[in-house]
Structure 1
Amino acid sequence: MSIWDTIIIGAGNAAFCAAHEAREKGASVLMLECAPEAENGGNSRYTAGAIRFAYDGVDDIRALCPDLSEDQIAITDFGTYTEEQFFDDMFRVTRYRTDPALCERLVRSSRDTMHWMRDKGIRFLPIYGRQAFKVDGRFKFWGGLTLESWGGGEGLVDAHTKIARESGVKIRYDTRAIELLTDGHAVTGVKVRHKGHIEELGAKSVVVAAGGFQASPEMRTRYLGPGWEMARVRGSRFNTGEGIKMAMDIGASTYGNWSGCHAVGWDYNAPEFGDLDVGDGFQKHSYPWGIMVNATGRRFVDEGADFRNYTYAKYGRIILNQPDQFAWQIFDSKVTHILRDEYRIKRVTKVTAPTIEALAEKLEGVDPQGFLDEIKAYNAAVDTDTPFDPNVKDGRATKGLSVPKSNWANRIDDGPFEAYQVGCGITFTFGGLRIDPDTAQVLDNGLSPIPGLFAAGELVGGVFFFNYPGGTGLINGSVFGRLAGTHAAPR
């Protein structure tokens, strides 16, 4: 039986960060990817690539994006996103449930981890267009989310793969880990299946970074609740929870929000799993500039409660709970020019009409009269005296409605009109394994470290509860992947 210093289960962003760090410490590293090479990278390949981290101003951005021109810098307000702001966002959106020690590790390590990734060869660029709008000749970034990886998720995974291979990391595709091997005390390797054959691979340490259980309808229904088998999966079809179950089978402690997940508004007719040809394009995240209605024709959520970064990951669940599990997003011509690029893809469930009455008849599954009554009430409630500004929470709100709109409220009265049908798209699950925040070592049911076993990425529980600040998934995987690789490497 071959013996490796470190075996890493998974080949997404968290797994690669573990691999890079373990190799940096001198370990021999084998990565096991259950997907074929064409679908490698787990959920990381499907992401748009936005990554949240603490920074103090333009000098931090310039250091991470050396290709930025002086002209770009001159017309851009990057602002700041301090550690204190990051902490505030994490505690606010998780309703103060995020594990304090894990959260502190995440926030305090975020900036240094970004620079470490840059030094490894990962490239970043500002998210113009999705995270900054041009007002009075200047771009202003908002919502604490400023940079993304070059080429989105696909570019990130390809860059990670190139860096890993050049450093001597071995990657085996079509190789599914099915069991953790132990000697009764420590983890000693992994049993795998490759093209129908079973073999055992020895290791001095194992890092589990195989994603959550979002691609398993059975586990979604068991832990998230009835109806969740109907959700579409935004990303990889291979994230079915095996990494979590393998660790549980040897006594690993579970932790976190097992009934919670990251779920968004996703094209109603999207396929069961993510499509790499479309990537993240099935998402529909410009709802703050319009309204959403359900099958009764009524609004059901405050579309302008906060920046999209802080609401999109919880609104998928709300859409799933609507009658017949769908909603329509409604926009008029005042805002269609600022809709995100995903609204312009070919594979989109969209209707248009010159009048609101004609639109009402085209909204499949919606009560037309209920919709028209809702539009009339909504338009009458909009405060038109406050200027509309998509770069800030502008306070342009409605008055007197049972479901308010707190910002960016515009009357829906200027045709032509556009509407997009959305369902629920699940990204990743929040429940998972319990780790030591200082080492990323998996803890057992007695809360003692399991020798030789580490974890990182989506399958670590305790970081996110109820909701999630946009872009925190990638930095979470990067921080704890790097930590796992550091401590998994033999000393």
Structure 2
Amino acid sequence: MLSSTLTTDVLIVGGGNAGFSAAISAAECGARRVLLIDAAPEHWAGGNSYFTAGAFRTVHDGLDDLLPIVNNVPDGKRDKIDVKPYTEANFAGDIKRICLDRADPELAGILIRESNQTVKWLAHHGVRFQLSFNRQAYEVDGRIKFWGGLALKTEDGGKGLVEDHRRAAIKLGVQIVFSTAARSLIIDPDSNRVNGVIAQGPEGKAQEIRASAVILAAGGFEANPRLRAQYLGPTWDFAKVRGTAYNNGTCLEMAIQQAGAKQAGNWSGCHSVAWDANAPANSGDRVISNEFTKSGYPLGLMLNRDGNRFVDEGVDLRNYTYAIFGKAILAQPGHFAFQVWDSQTISWLRSEEYRDEVVEKIKAETIEELAQQLADRGLVNASQFVDTITTYNEAVEAFRRENPDKIWDPSVKDSLSTQSSLKRLPLAKSNWALPLNQGPYLAVKVTCGVTFTFGGLAVDPKTSAVISSFTNQPIPGLYTAGEMLGGIFYDNYPGGSGLTSGAVFGRRAGRAAAMAETRGPDCNLNN
């Protein structure tokens, strides 16, 4: 609980990865009083970060560079692991390609260059990292092969990340208050300096919080169906919310309308995934969390209710497609689809996404029988469903006859496709194209789960200070990080780069905010 009036040095609004990174940075850089407020009650702590798998994309020099900060590689296992170095050029190339060459080059450059030191900084503060064997590696020919430029995750995913952040913040003296929402900014009318916020506490009473600096890290508008329909477009109010119900865009609108914050980024874009069709509609489940994600589609096919494929399931590694395929599913009739596999690949599905306790599995011995079962779950055209898979199988077999030396390998883009000189599908499956012809068969029903929105506020890249739309200069006393920072992600994003961005720019914002008061001994970003 807060008193009706409070004074602090640095105020952080939002308690996810970006907010806690800012709080920890501000405290270690000498801010004597750091306060973090969160609109959610404590049992919803962590914002969207809680619901992630905890993946951090970072530049690294290979396995030896990562081993000192991970805790799940016993000596007998390390010699079986293949982790290729992921260079600055690799990361830059992925952002350029995946984000349509629209990312702000200075913001992207900072994200890339500081990714390695930032994850090591988090590890220094007690964030427990692991190699992501379960999500980012396949065992092929006795080797554990990591793929897609992504190897790190946090222990216990987002839940563990939030626990570790809170422990580190408390250790540094950060005060954390829940059920307290920022409702308006306190702005000096002469200097336009932000001097704090008016907050609403758990009993509905207004609370004035005065601060030398305010860092907004309260997430995007993904949990607000009105704003989704307004900015992302028609039907987006049908999307299911993957994470917290408290990321409703309030702080974005507050900064834009009250402080004249300049808008930046892809306001019609978002991160959205294939999501369990039976998941809750308006928020994630704190227990099941990220297990509602259904990203095993590269191992099989996705078909809509009319029995047609609508994406190239093998166009790229999962890390570069999962954040856009939710949008593709939402655009289908009825806003759902079916993922389908046969006995060749069912065992390759990750248990945390497809275990019996989480997902409804529809099983059958034949494709025809599977189609009939799916008819009870929304499939409209069973015969087209069968025809689509039959035609796909014919294309796969034609390719394999023409390319007998090609070997299926889910850890690389293996070029096993449906496109040969004898037969070509109008919509290819470009990699990992095995025939679906060996029963038993498995299907699950999926819809669109929205994760976070890409539209945000323009910032000074060096400090993460919010830019004024009137002066095009930093607004004194106001900073932002996390989902609220716009300008990096457009249309899509490289998997794992969202948490890294939140930490990199949260750290920068905390440092800049603290230096408004005093420079501490540990606030050099190179530490």
Query: Is the shorter-chain TM-score for this pair beyond 0.5, marking a shared fold?
Result: yes
Percentage of identical aligned residues = 47
Q: Hey, what's the Cα distance between the residues in 1 that align with 2:251 and 2:245? A: 14
Contact 1:268 1:349 in 2 (8 A): no
Q: What is residue 26 of structure 2 aligned with on the other side?
A: 22
State the SS of the aligned residue for 1:450: strand
Q: What is residue 349 of structure 1 aligned with on the other side?
A: 360
Asked if 1:477 corresponds to 2:495, the answer is: no
**CA shift digits 1:406-449 (9 cap, x unpaired):** 00001010000000110000000000111011110000103110
Q: Hey, what's the Cα distance between the residues in 2 that align with 1:157 and 1:444? A: 32
Instruction: Tell me the TM-score normalized by structure 2.
Output: 0.92
Give structure 2 stretches of 5+ with no counterpart.
Answer: 519-527
State the SS of the aligned residue for 1:277: coil
Q: CA deviation at 1:129?
A: 2.5
Give structure 1 stretches of 5+ with no counterpart.
Answer: none
**CA shift digits 1:200-247 (9 cap, x unpaired):** 010000000000000000000000001000000000000001111111
Q: CA deviation at 1:9?
A: 0.1
Asked if 1:314 corresponds to 2:339, the answer is: no
Q: Hey, what's the Cα distance between the residues in 1 that align with 2:63 and 2:318? A: 23
**CA shift digits 1:439-487 (9 cap, x unpaired):** 1000010311000000000111111000011101100000000000000
Q: Hey, what's the Cα distance between the residues in 2 that align with 1:13 and 1:46? A: 11
**CA shift digits 1:293-345 (9 cap, x unpaired):** 01110111100000000000001101100111111000000000010121114
Pick from 300, 304, 308 the counterpart of residue 310 of structure 2. 300
Pick from 478, 493, 498 the counterpart of residue 468 of structure 1. 493
Q: Hey, what's the Cα distance between the residues in 2 that align with 1:129 and 1:372? A: 32
Asked if 1:114 corresponds to 2:127, the answer is: no
State the SS of the aligned residue for 1:255: strand
State the SS of the aligned residue for 2:24: helix
Give the letter aligned to residue 413 of structure 2: K
Q: Hey, what's the Cα distance between the residues in 1 that align with 2:449 and 2:134? A: 23
Q: What is residue 212 of structure 1 aligned with on the other side?
A: 220
Aligned CA RMSD, in angstroms, stands at 0.9
Contact 2:71 2:128 in 1 (8 A): no
| 1:136-147 equivalences in 2 (<5 Å) | 136-147=141-152
Q: Hey, what's the Cα distance between the residues in 2 that align with 1:77 and 1:465? A: 31
Contact 1:435 1:441 in 2 (8 A): yes
Give the letter aligned to residue 117 of structure 1: L
Q: Hey, what's the Cα distance between the residues in 1 that align with 2:270 and 2:128? A: 29
State the SS of the aligned residue for 2:466: strand
Deviating above 6 A after TM superposition, structure 1's stretches of 4 or more consecutive aligned residues are none
Pick from 442, 450, 458 the counterpart of residue 434 of structure 1. 458
Q: Hey, what's the Cα distance between the residues in 2 that align with 1:25 and 1:267? A: 43
Q: What is residue 269 of structure 1 aligned with on the other side?
A: 278
Pick from 247, 260, 265 the counterpart of residue 256 of structure 1. 265
Q: Hey, what's the Cα distance between the residues in 1 that align with 2:503 and 2:417? A: 38
Instruction: Tell me the TM-score normalized by structure 1.
Output: 0.99
Q: What is residue 377 of structure 1 aligned with on the other side?
A: 391
Q: What is residue 9 of structure 1 aligned with on the other side?
A: 13
Q: CA deviation at 1:264?
A: 0.5
State the SS of the aligned residue for 1:296: coil
Give the letter aligned to residue 300 of structure 1: F
Task: Specify whether residues 181 and 235 from structure 1 end up closer, same or farther in structure 2 by C-alpha distance, changes over 3 A only.
Answer: same
Q: What is residue 371 of structure 2 aligned with on the other side?
A: 360
Pick from 395, 398, 415 the counterpart of residue 395 of structure 1. 415
Q: What is residue 199 of structure 2 aligned with on the other side?
A: 192
Q: Hey, what's the Cα distance between the residues in 1 that align with 2:73 and 2:308? A: 45
Q: Hey, what's the Cα distance between the residues in 1 that align with 2:485 and 2:435? A: 43
Contact 1:232 1:271 in 2 (8 A): yes
Contact 1:293 1:371 in 2 (8 A): yes
Pick from 86, 89, 102 the counterpart of residue 81 of structure 1. 86
Q: CA deviation at 1:353?
A: 0.4
Give the letter aligned to residue 378 of structure 2: G
Q: What is residue 448 of structure 1 aligned with on the other side?
A: 473
Q: Hey, what's the Cα distance between the residues in 2 that align with 1:259 and 1:349? A: 32
Q: What is residue 183 of structure 1 aligned with on the other side?
A: 188
Q: What is residue 133 of structure 1 aligned with on the other side?
A: 138
Q: CA deviation at 1:25?
A: 1.2
Aligned pairs, how many? 491
Contact 1:281 1:345 in 2 (8 A): no
Asked if 1:202 corresponds to 2:202, the answer is: no
Contact 2:71 2:130 in 1 (8 A): no
